[in-house]
């Protein structure tokens, strides 16, 4: 598969990743830009996300309706999302419609209309989106958790911004953000599937070759982890709870081990936490772990939904399993986690859209695309000693963090639970 991938860098520094699959009948393309909340300021929080919305409101030659109708006419799927360290715009289509779909995607990103009436209208839409997430105990718990563990860093802020920062958006502020962040050195275009490479390359040059390289390369934002307890009182039937420990960054050599720890602890129905906390004790409906990694920061989390009466027991039992992980994890556990990870990765490689996303994400954030065989080899090479050593480094109970949303106890009560578990 490696020899089918090609990276072309335009004279201005913009990188284009081609991955041809002649057996495919579809094509997937995306534009990924190093623009997100972590690169914003308290005053501009949410701008990256606002721009994502505005690109769908029309270009200089297409209205918002035109974009929607022309996309539907060729049966394509056009969408976007904003993450903490990047924004992605993507389209999926039949190979025969590649040129048309790319023209829509490239046009809306390069020539946004940014009509002031549309901007005012979209402020209301985004504030409704903020309210929607605030109504969700699960989303509110996650947002509050990140805000508290990364105090003082934009990485921990809400990607959507706040009602105040949304209201403060102007056409000029959006244009300034685009001029600063939507530059060749912070942009990757990725194409995967069955397409005509010459045609696609010419389209990329047509729309992006005139962009000027400003020397504003991607500089990772480091957020210092802060342990502590946060609570959000909310009238809900089920509390949402997140436990956290300092994690690993995207480039940390321990990342494969950390991901496998997550798999063993709470990544599947056979995992330690799922089997004990849910299946044996019946304390939760859902429980899962995650190794959340960014360029220079990371956090290891355990999330669960449960009745407030079950909290103390669930937390205690969870911390017992975590504290004893290095003594109880077996070669069989590790082997099972490796197979789950490798299988998931290989299955992803059979998905054209996932491959396009992987190529863009890795080239933008890592500066390279690691060969698939290398990824699999790195996963399989993790030893039980590696797993235990990494677990002992991550699970520092003096740096534990917690966020609970719902019918919460006092912060003091939760800290007492921690103290009794140590």
User: Distance of alpha carbon 163 from its chain centroid, rounded?
Assistant: 23
Model pLDDT for residues 223-254, shown as the tens digit of each residue: 999 999 999 999 888 999 999 999 999 999 99
pLDDT tens digits for 64-86? 999 999 999 999 999 999 999 99
Q: Which of 282, 301, 281 has the alpha carbon at shortest distance from 240?
A: 301
**How confident is the model at residue 422, as a pLDDT?**
61
pTM for the model stands at: 0.94
Is residue 52 among the annotated active site residues?
A: yes
Q: Is 120 left (phi over 0), alpha (psi -120 to 50) or beta?
A: alpha
- The fraction of the chain above a pLDDT of 90, given in percent, is 94
pLDDT at 1: 42
List 30, 40, 52, 311, catalytic entry = 52
Q: 5-17 burial, b for 16+ CB within 10 Å, e for fewer?
A: beeeebebbbbbb
Mean confidence (pLDDT) of the chain: 96
Q: Domains plus CATH for the chain?
A: 2-208 (3.30.830.10), 228-421 (3.30.830.10)
Per residue in 246-301, pLDDT (tens digit) is: 999 999 999 999 999 999 999 989 999 999 999 999 999 999 999 999 999 999 99
């Amino acid at each position: 598969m490696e020899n089918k991938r090609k990276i072309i860098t335009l004279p201005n520094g913009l990188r284009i990743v081609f991955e041809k699959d002649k057996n495919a009948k579809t094509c997937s393309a995306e534009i990924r830009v190093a623009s997100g909340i972590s690169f914003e300021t308290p005053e501009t929080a949410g701008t990256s996300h606002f721009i994502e919305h505005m690109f769908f409101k029309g270009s200089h030659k297409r209205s918002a309706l035109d974009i929607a109708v022309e996309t539907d006419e060729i049966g394509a799927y056009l969408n976007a999302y904003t993450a903490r360290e990047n924004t992605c715009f993507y389209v999926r289509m039949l190979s025969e419609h590649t040129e048309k779909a790319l023209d829509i995607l490239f046009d809306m990103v390069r020539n946004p209309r940014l009509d002031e009436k549309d901007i005012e209208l979209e402020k209301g839409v985004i504030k409704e989106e903020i309210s929607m997430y605030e109504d969700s105990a699960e989303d509110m718990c996650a947002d509050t958790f990140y805000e508290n563990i990364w105090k003082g860093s934009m990485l921990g802020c809400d990607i959507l911004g706040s009602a105040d920062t949304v209201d403060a958006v102007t056409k000029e502020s959006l244009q300034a953000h685009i001029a600063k962040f939507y530059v060749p050195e912070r942009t990757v275009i990725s194409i995967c599937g069955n397409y005509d490479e010459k045609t696609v390359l010419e389209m990329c040059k047509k729309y992006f070759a005139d962009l000027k390289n400003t020397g504003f390369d991607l500089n990772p934002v480091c957020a210092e982890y802060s342990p502590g307890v946060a609570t959000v009182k909310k009238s809900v039937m089920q509390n949402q709870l997140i436990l956290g420990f300092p994690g690993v960054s995207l480039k940390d050599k321990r990342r494969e081990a950390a991901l496998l720890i997550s798999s063993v602890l709470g990544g599947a129905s056979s995992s330690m936490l799922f089997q004990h906390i849910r299946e044996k004790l019946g304390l939760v409906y859902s429980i899962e772990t995650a190794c959340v990694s960014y360029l220079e920061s990371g956090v290891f989390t355990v999330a669960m939904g449960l009745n407030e009466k079950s909290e103390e027991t669930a937390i205690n039992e969870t911390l017992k399993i975590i504290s004893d992980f290095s003594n109880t994890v077996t070669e069989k556990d590790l082997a099972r986690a490796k197979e789950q990870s490798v299988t998931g990765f290989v299955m992803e490689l059979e998905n054209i859209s996932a491959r396009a996303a992987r190529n863009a994400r890795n080239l933008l954030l890592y500066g390279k695309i690691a060969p698939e065989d290398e990824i699999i080899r790195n996963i399989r090479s993790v030893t039980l000693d590696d797993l235990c050593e990494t677990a002992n480094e991550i699970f520092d109970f003096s740096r534990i963090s917690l966020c609970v949303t719902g019918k919460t106890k006092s912060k003091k009560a939760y800290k007492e639970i921690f103290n009794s578990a140590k």
